[in-house]
């Protein structure tokens, strides 16, 4: 029923070796039937009948509570500013909490004749261990433990995924909160964060700062450094910055490809799907961290300005197209909480006790440290842009700049249990590959409406 674009066509997606065509069976073998796959070597073929555009919509009041009882006449939907006719309307209220003693142990909710109900929604809790530091792990784990200690078997299913250099399934789909809790409390879950690459990245960025301090002991630095001295040393620095930035770009591109592959497989799961991506954030301009450090010390040299060619927007849009096409809602949770600028005391890249480098910056009156903080704050802000786009494009929520991880998780899960579904036949029929922007409003202006932003027709 829930199709996302206009026209009838076949989408061919080439998957890498990490995502064989039957990978969904690995995720969900414990609990879900999987749609049959067409034979082929590394190519999945998805037939998409898309005469209607179906838009899940979440409506909340000023207190954040879901607004119930709305009718089709309360909604107005627009595509590229043109109002569309709603041809189908429905409400979804799935997986609401029931008393634990009404459920058989390990089984989902049952119908009156004793048959097990089909799963209402699948929640994929995806942990970005490539970009998340162990320092934030404790807060996330504590929130998850509290959540699943109180969660009841409501028929919803949960999956735990580690998305790092490689994608690993920590727990296959299960409706049993006790199984999820056991995994969260287990050593395997903790180990995926111990090996996080983000900590290594923070160390490398700090080492670049120390490297610049060494350079500045010998050569002019700062806004007044305008001479052509120390050319060989500057070229060595440039090669070092370029190499580290290139490595970061490769890892980020692989991460986004893995995310796309995950979304492709989730698109085959025969339930409603919500992905919760828990991350410290990732840059769509990978490597800028190193250029920002070098540029703070040598602001007048063009070779230390970030080259804008290393942007990851195309790879992100590829992943988003899959999510929108298959109606996968993505909620992104910034696990940094209320973050501290990177080079301030106690910040993630604080090197004040790392030897001469820290004292050298302070001996210049603190101006260099302030410039480093300003640039690092800009980078950290941009690191949230990818998370924000994932949520906005799919009708999800971007949770950031707060330390209440438990509230964030609860809100994201409840969000998938109560929503409206609107469908319309687009008045514009051309399939030219352009972005079609969707907006949904309700008659009661005191209510907040959230829906995905649009789709592409190609």
Q: Are residues 232 and 365 in the same domain?
A: yes
More confident residue, 293 or 10: 293
Confidence of residue 378 (pLDDT cuts 50, 70, 90): low
* E-only strand ranges, 180-337: 272-279, 329-334
Q: Are residues 353 and 307 in the same domain?
A: yes
The answer as to whether 448 is a domain residue is yes
Q: Report the domain count for the chain.
A: 2
pLDDT value for 331: 94
pLDDT value for 77: 95
Q: Are residues 247 and 206 in the same domain?
A: yes
The answer as to whether 86 is a domain residue is yes
> Which two tokens mark 458?
């190609």
Which residue(s) pair with 10 in the sheet? Answer: 47
pLDDT value for 307: 78
pLDDT in tens, 239-262: 999 998 888 888 889 999 999 999
More confident residue, 294 or 8: 294
Q: Are residues 368 and 240 in the same domain?
A: yes
Confidence of residue 40 (pLDDT cuts 50, 70, 90): very low
pLDDT value for 181: 95
Q: Are residues 213 and 350 in the same domain?
A: yes
Q: Are residues 289 and 236 in the same domain?
A: yes
Q: Are residues 422 and 376 in the same domain?
A: no
- C-alpha 310/C-alpha 118 separation (Å) is 45
pLDDT value for 119: 54
CATH number assigned to the domain comprising residue 78: 2.60.40
- Name the most confidently modeled range: 117-126, 322-331, 353-362: 322-331
- C-alpha 318/C-alpha 314 separation (Å) is 6
The answer as to whether 186 is a domain residue is no
Give me the DSSP letters along 307-365: PTT---HHHHHHHHHHHHHTT-EEEEEETT-S---TTSTTSTT--TTSSHHHHHHHHTT
Q: Are residues 384 and 428 in the same domain?
A: no
pLDDT value for 308: 67
Q: Are residues 88 and 231 in the same domain?
A: no
Domain range enclosing 297: 199-268+284-324+337-391
| Domain end among 373, 391, 409 | 391
Q: Are residues 386 and 424 in the same domain?
A: no
The answer as to whether 330 is a domain residue is no
* 247 backbone dihedrals φ, ψ, rounded to 5°: -65, -40
Helix (H), strand (E) at residue 9: strand 7-14
Q: Are residues 295 and 427 in the same domain?
A: no
Which residue(s) pair with 418 in the sheet? Answer: 93
Q: Are residues 243 and 304 in the same domain?
A: yes
pLDDT value for 304: 86
> Which two tokens mark 28?
């969900």
- C-alpha 202/C-alpha 211 separation (Å) is 14
């Amino acid at each position: 029923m829930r199709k996302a674009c206009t026209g009838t066509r076949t989408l061919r997606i080439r998957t890498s070796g990490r995502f064989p065509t039957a990978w969904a069976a690995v995720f969900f073998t414990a609990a879900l039937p999987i749609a049959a796959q067409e034979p082929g070597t590394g190519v999945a073929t998805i037939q998409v009948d898309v005469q209607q555009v179906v838009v899940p919509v979440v409506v909340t009041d000023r207190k954040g509570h879901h607004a119930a009882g709305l009718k089709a006449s309360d909604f107005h939907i627009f595509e590229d500013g043109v109002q569309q006719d709603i041809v189908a309307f429905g409400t979804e209220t799935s997986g609401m909490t029931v008393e634990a003693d009404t459920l058989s142990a390990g089984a989902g909710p049952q119908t009156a004749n004793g048959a097990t109900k089909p799963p209402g929604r699948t929640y994929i809790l995806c942990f970005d261990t490539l970009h998340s530091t162990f320092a934030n792990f404790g807060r996330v784990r504590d929130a998850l433990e509290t959540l699943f200690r109180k969660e009841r078997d409501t028929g919803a299913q949960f999956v735990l995924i580690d998305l790092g250099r490689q994608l690993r399934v920590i727990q296959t789909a299960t409706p049993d909160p006790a199984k999820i809790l056991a995994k969260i409390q287990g050593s395997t879950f903790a180990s995926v964060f111990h090996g996080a690459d983000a900590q290594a990245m923070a160390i490398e960025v700090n080492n670049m700062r120390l490297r610049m301090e060494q350079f500045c002991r010998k050569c002019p630095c700062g806004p007044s450094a305008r001479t052509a001295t120390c050319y060989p040393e500057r070229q060595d620095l440039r090669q070092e910055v370029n190499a580290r930035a290139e490595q970061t770009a490769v890892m980020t591109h692989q991460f986004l490809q893995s995310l796309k592959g995950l979304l492709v497989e989730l698109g085959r799961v025969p339930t409603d799907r919500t992905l919760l991506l828990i991350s410290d954030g990732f840059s769509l301009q990978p490597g800028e961290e190193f250029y920002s450090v070098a540029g703070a010390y040598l602001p007048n040299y063009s070779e230390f300005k970030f080259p804008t060619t290393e942007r990851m927007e195309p790879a992100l849009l590829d992943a988003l197209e899959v999510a929108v096409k298959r109606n996968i809602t993505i909620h992104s949770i910034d696990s940094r909480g209320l973050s501290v600028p990177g080079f301030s005391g106690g910040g993630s890249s604080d090197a004040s006790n790392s030897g001469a480098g820290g004292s050298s910056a302070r001996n210049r009156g603190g101006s260099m440290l302030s410039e480093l903080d300003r640039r690092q704050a800009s980078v950290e802000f941009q690191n949230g842009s990818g998370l924000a786009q994932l949520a906005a494009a799919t009708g999800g929520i971007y949770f950031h700049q707060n330390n209440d991880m438990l509230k964030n998780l609860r809100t994201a899960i409840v969000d998938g249990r109560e929503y409206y579904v609107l469908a319309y036949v687009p008045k514009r029929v051309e399939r030219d590959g352009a972005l079609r922007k969707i907006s949904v409003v309700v008659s009661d202006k005191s209510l907040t409406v959230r829906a995905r932003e649009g789709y592409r027709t190609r």
